[in-house]
């Protein structure tokens, strides 16, 4: 898997799965644009990758803000005049609670980032990729995008939408040599994943033991899957919502 001369945008690249994905693409020679609303962490990571010899740039983005997303894609086209892969990865969790406890504010916040944010990115990238006649998109959905996620109603709604957008775009854009896939991780060792369980060791253990492989996933394991989906090794994969979950959803 060599991505030399291939331009990759990764959203949510400052931490967790996005960070691991940036590191993975960097070792494989990609030209990277790391995008995140956390500028400090994103710039530090980008600096580290550049020091290690990568072609990497940081651009601030709030994926839920259309104007902000536009500046990201304008930056990419001005800098490279092409886009080979978009990793729509930025996401947030909701306040835990049953449906009747979901507040309007939390609902709209989660949908704005996880669903509308992915839509903005897909729409911008698909136009570029259709015109250049090649490209791939990987959306970070979730196990909550293919099954129930109790106490995470807004999150599950947003991630099911990501899977729906992935499959629909795959049908529409396959003929233009553009592939659109999603990864569906279960709990992963990031701030959002295992970090969210840190205060409750009993629940942590119970959820870990529910995974057939008896452990949570590593961010690097999702990152490698994302890279593979973008690579020529996966040239006939389109419209797939691929579980990266140690067998949880099997």
Please, what is the minimum distance in Å from the beta carbon of residue 13 to ligand NAD? 7
Strand partners, 8: 32, 85
Please, what is the minimum distance in Å from the beta carbon of residue 4 to ligand NAD? 26
C-alpha distances (whole Å) from 90 to each of 7, 33, 38, 134, 232 are 18, 14, 11, 23, 24
Q: Which is nearer to ligand NAD, 190 or 225 (CB)?
A: 190
Binding site for ligand NAD (CB under 6 A): 11-12, 14-18, 36-38, 61-64, 89-92, 113, 117, 140, 142, 185, 187-188, 190-193
3-state DSSP percent of the chain in helix, strand and coil, to 5: 50, 15, 30
Please, what is the minimum distance in Å from the beta carbon of residue 29 to ligand NAD? 23
159, 114 contact by CB (below 8 A): yes
Q: Which is nearer to ligand NAD, 65 or 177 (CB)?
A: 65
Q: How many CB atoms lie within 10 A of CB 161?
A: 18
Q: ∠146-63-40 over CA atoms, to 5°?
A: 115
Cα atoms found within 13 Å of the Cα of residue 53, Cβ hemisphere only: 4
Structure tokens at 201: 């060791």
Q: Which is nearer to ligand NAD, 15 or 125 (CB)?
A: 15
Distance CA 54, CA 46 (A): 9
Considering 80, 155, 173, 236, which one is annotated as catalytic?
155
Q: Which is nearer to ligand NAD, 128 or 219 (CB)?
A: 219
Distance CA 23, CA 40 (A): 17
Please, what is the minimum distance in Å from the beta carbon of residue 159 to ligand NAD? 7
217, 190 contact by CB (below 8 A): no
Q: Which is nearer to ligand NAD, 94 or 136 (CB)?
A: 94
Respond yes or no: is residue 120 known to be catalytic: no
Q: Catalytic residues, which ones?
A: 155
């Amino acid at each position: 898997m060599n991505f030399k001369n291939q331009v990759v945008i990764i959203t949510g690249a400052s931490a967790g799965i996005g960070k691991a994905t940036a590191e993975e693409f960097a070792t494989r020679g990609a030209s990277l644009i790391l995008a995140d609303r956390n500028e400090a962490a994103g710039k530090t990571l980008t600096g580290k990758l550049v020091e290690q010899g990568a072609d990497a740039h940081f651009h601030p983005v709030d994926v839920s803000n259309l104007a902000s997303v536009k500046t990201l894609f304008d930056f990419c086209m001005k800098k490279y005049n092409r886009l080979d892969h978009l990793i729509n990865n930025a996401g947030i969790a909701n306040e835990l609670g049953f449906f009747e406890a979901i507040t309007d504010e939390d609902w709209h916040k989660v949908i704005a980032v996880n669903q509308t944010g992915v839509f903005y990115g897909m729409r911008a990238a698909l136009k570029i990729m259709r015109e250049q006649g090649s490209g791939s998109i990987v959306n970070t959905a979730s196990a909550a995008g293919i099954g129930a996620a109790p106490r995470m109603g807004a999150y599950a709604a947003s991630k099911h939408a990501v899977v729906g957008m992935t499959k629909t775009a795959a049908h529409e854009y396959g003929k233009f040599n553009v592939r659109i896939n999603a990864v569906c991780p279960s709990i992963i060792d990031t701030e959002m994943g295992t970090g969210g369980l840190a205060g409750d060791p009993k629940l942590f253990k119970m959820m870990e033991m529910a995974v057939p492989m008896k452990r949570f996933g590593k961010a690097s394991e999702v990152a490698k899957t994302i890279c593979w989906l973008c690579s020529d090794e996966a040239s006939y994969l389109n419209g797939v919502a691929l579980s990266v979950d140690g067998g949880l959803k099997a």
